[in-house]
Chain A
Amino acid sequence: MKGIEKRLREEAKILLDAGTVSVVLAFRDGHNEYCPVPFAARDVSDVDAIVFNEYCTHNLARYVTEYDPGTKIAIAAKGADSRALVVLIQEEKVKRDDLVILGIPCAGMKDARRGTVIDETTTGGTLNPVIYDILLADPLPETDTSPYGVLADLESQGHDARWGFWQREMSRCIRCYACRNACPLCYCDPCFVDQNAPRWADKSPSLASNLMFHLTRFYHLAGRCVDCGDCSRACPMNIPLYLFHKKVAKECEEMFGQVAGMDPEGKPVMVDFKVDDSDEILI
């Protein structure tokens, strides 16, 4: 990781010095070594503050849509970050030409708050960036473990048990919207749940209003979610949102042969149509 940090600083310095980009999205130290903070380096003098370690788990693609169109942005992109960038490019939220993607192959990232190693049980397990301009380390061998393996337990349960599980989980939501706001692909402005004329979901947390929010969000991310796991890591209530996202991603893959965020030239499944598309979901 120290090698990646060094390379990140070197490339950031070159890019900022030459004026190739006006900002480099990376990380800086937080209040302790386990708590790095997403960092927008804008000047060569900022570069020495850039860090990279196994706690730099945040999907920095989240910040790309905050900049004015045309801003030249360099971004430290891990596997899932690069997949989110692909979706943003597909959806024309950012132009490929405006990005300098500093690709970071990495495995064994850690969730400091939960003391866990992040793997394909809570994320898509994409170890290598799928697009990049500069690769900051040698590519890693991708694991062949399915990111959907974790669903087996839930899938083996009956309808009532699964509904019971989601009722319990959804009831615990406090509607802080950390999941939505950490998500690189939740860029709607305004989000439907923040609208008040009409108000689509009550402000009071309840099973009904929480379901209204989460189900709408889950389905709005269908075929778009890149399974980075940031929503679930951001959640203060430890709601396993990734399980729902994974289930929808699995359906997209099985029914439409599509994995989100792999091909900048492709289209997200919900805005794509082929005559031989599966019609299994139609009654």
Chain B
Amino acid sequence: MVKKIERDRIQDIAAALMEKGTLYAPVEDEEGVNFHPVDDAARVTLDFYNTVQGPKCAFFPQSDELVRYRMTHEGPEAVEVLPDESPQILFGVRPCDVRSLAIMDELFCGGGVVDPYWKNRRDNTTIIAYAFDIVDPVDFYGSFDIGAAEETGADILMVGVGGEFLLDARTEKGTALLAALDGFDDAAEGDKKRFAAAVKKAGALETRRIDTDGVDRDLMDIFDSDFWQREAAPCLNCGVCTFVCPTCHCFDINDETLFGEGRRVKTWDSCMFTDFTLHASGHNPRTKKNQRLRQRVNHKFSYYVTNFDVISCVGCGRCTRFCPVNIDIAGVVERARKRAASERTE
């Protein structure tokens, strides 16, 4: 089912979606365009290349309440904050970011322990993907066989063609949402052809590529190499890369208490931070920045592959774009592979 709407009616799209559930959509702010829960349809925009941060906030907010508690004269009182069951719509997600969700599903609701907060939101969210029509030279999602108009994981795929957006449902959930939306026109036969042509054209877009075949083993081969000292020398150990990343998912659990009242929260953490691996004893097994940079690269390109048979990177290019000192993860991986190859021949 293909539907269409004029580009300049983006606010009408947002307003229609807001009636169907909590809307997470790209919103223009001082930092650029970023995903936010939308309370004002007028602020939604599709005028961006990609958002500052990935869309993980819709499923894994930076701070997620698990328990509320307070001290009373009768003793402590605690109330569990149950996962939200209400419907959500995630709108305007680039195809590489859509893939990031399936990658994190492996951890949060795959074969092992299920995180009900993540799973409920995933089950209750309808995803409207938004195809790229140009390529930034920093992106490398093509390395992971993700197309610029990839539909995998999307409930609805949207493309911009001329003065219009064309939307086509790809799942039952997507069909149900699209059928229930007001203000959209049914597509004519010509529109369906234009949709197919746009998807085909976007499919021909090429990003830069890195060869990832066997990268997990290569990285283990150079684990103790001085390669990491050199690569990490410029690293500031700030958390920008991990906080803009659509697949970084490490978290901390903290009690945030004020005057005998508080909440237990799950917050984003970062392998770049000094307290990330700090033990209660005071010992920290990962005190140096080369160890921290290695952890981030290895977690994505080696450990995650060992655990879940998939690389935990989608090549969105955000960490490269936003790194204050211009560290490019694709370059690090390529140089690591070269180093591993040269060590093998020695």
B236 touches A234 (CB 8 A): yes
B270 touches A176 (CB 8 A): yes
A174 with B243, Cβ < 8 A, contacts A37-B234, A38-B234, A204-B62 known: yes
| Chain B residues whose CB sits within 8 angstroms of the CB of A36 once the complex forms | 326
Asked whether B137 is an interface residue with its Cβ less than 8 Å from the other chain, the reply is yes
| Chain B residues whose CB sits within 8 angstroms of the CB of A256 once the complex forms | none
Query: A195 vs B325: C-alpha distance in the bound complex, in angstroms?
Result: 26
Asked whether B346 is an interface residue with its Cβ less than 8 Å from the other chain, the reply is no
- Within the complex, the shortest CB–CB distance from B153 to chain A, in Å, comes to 25
Interface residue range, chain A: 35 or more
Asked whether A250 is an interface residue with its Cβ less than 8 Å from the other chain, the reply is no
A31 touches B138 (CB 8 A): yes
Query: A230 vs B29: C-alpha distance in the bound complex, in angstroms?
Result: 21
Asked whether B340 is an interface residue with its Cβ less than 8 Å from the other chain, the reply is no
For residues 143 through 198 of chain A, which have their beta carbon under 8 Å from a beta carbon of chain B?
Answer: 169, 172, 174-178, 180-182, 189-191, 194-196
**A60 nearest CB neighbor, chain B only:** B234
A182 touches B138 (CB 8 A): no
For residues 240 through 265 of chain B, which have their beta carbon under 8 Å from a beta carbon of chain A?
Answer: 240, 242-244, 252, 254, 256, 265
| Chain B residues whose CB sits within 8 angstroms of the CB of A63 once the complex forms | 233
Asked whether A205 is an interface residue with its Cβ less than 8 Å from the other chain, the reply is yes
Annotate A4-32 by CB proximity to B: 1 below 8 A, 0 otherwise: 00000000000000000000000000111
**B269 nearest CB neighbor, chain A only:** A203
| Chain A residues whose CB sits within 8 angstroms of the CB of B233 once the complex forms | 38-40, 63
**A189 nearest CB neighbor, chain B only:** B274
Query: A181 vs B234: C-alpha distance in the bound complex, in angstroms?
Result: 11
Asked whether B237 is an interface residue with its Cβ less than 8 Å from the other chain, the reply is yes
- Within the complex, the shortest CB–CB distance from B212 to chain A, in Å, comes to 17
Asked whether A270 is an interface residue with its Cβ less than 8 Å from the other chain, the reply is no
Chain B count of residues within 8 A CB distance of the other chain = 41
Choose one: B137, B243, B278, B324; the contact of A32 (CB below 8 Å): B137
A31 with B240, Cβ < 8 A, contacts A39-B234, A176-B270, A237-B52 known: no
| Chain A residues whose CB sits within 8 angstroms of the CB of B267 once the complex forms | 203-204
A174 with B29, Cβ < 8 A, contacts A35-B326, A202-B256, A234-B236 known: no
A172 touches B324 (CB 8 A): no
| Chain B residues whose CB sits within 8 angstroms of the CB of A245 once the complex forms | none
Annotate B182-205 by CB proximity to A: 1 below 8 A, 0 otherwise: 000000000000000000000000
The 7 closest A-B pairs by CB, nearest first: A204-B63, A234-B324, A35-B326, A181-B238, A178-B238, A181-B236, A176-B239
5 A-B pairs with C-beta separation under 8 A? A30-B327, A58-B324, A176-B270, A182-B238, A205-B62
With A174-B62, A182-B324, A233-B324 already in contact, 5 other A-B pairs whose C-beta atoms are closer than 8 Å: A37-B234, A40-B233, A202-B256, A236-B52, A236-B244
